[in-house]
Amino acid sequence: MLKKLLFLFLFFNANFSFASSSFLVDINWLEKNINSSSIRLIDMSDDTQYQRFHIPGSTHLPYAAINVRNKKGVSFSAGKNHIIKILGLLGIQPQHHVVIYDDMGGLNASRLFWELEKLGHKNISLLNGGLVKWILAGKKVTADVRNIKAVQYKANMKTGRDSTVTIEEILNSKFNNKNILLDVRSKEEYAGHRSEEHTSELQSH
């Protein structure tokens, strides 16, 4: 559910600070620029899906790699230092234009987008329509894995923006037209009832 909140946050936040990249890039733009040395294409699809086929030149990053879970199973950001280490292992440097996609409607990809924005990475884009739109358009896919040379990522923390808040900050805040608390769960979850989908999942187990 946190992923849904992050996805909506990226759409409704009006304070984006991009340099030369657009929030969304389309599949035709990517096809033309896919071999550019300035592009780093990150696939955040399911592990099995990536192994079957993916967009040529993309590097796989599992969603779980940028998150940690507490003893109660609640997912949190793994933290800036961990994200910086991951970016270095992926061969990403601050000057690269990072294009992210997944097969989940952008849910996983938007989480990485958010993490990069917090680090002050200037050139970040989501692939509009993701892997599904790419495949439906008949674009080329591959099962080949890209060779990666690890680098040292140096984040520009001066331009980064931490858009997270703690529970304590929410409880102590007075929400007005400038600070709105948005709950994007289902109507059933909001009302304190299990959704039909969740109930069926429990019954299947």
* Per-residue pLDDT reduced to its tens digit, 179-205: 777 887 778 888 887 655 544 443 444
| pLDDT tops 80 at residue 139 | yes
Residues of the chain above pLDDT 70, percent: 77
**pTM for the whole structure:** 0.75
CB 38 within 8 A of CB 95: yes
Q: How confident is the model at residue 190, as a pLDDT?
A: 86
Inter-residue long-range contacts of 189-193, CB under 8 Å, 24+ positions, other chains counted? 189/1
Q: What is the mean pLDDT of the chain?
A: 82
Token output for 55? 């967009």
Q: How confident is the model at residue 204, as a pLDDT?
A: 46
Dihedral angle, C-alpha 128, 129, 134, 138, nearest 10 ° = -120
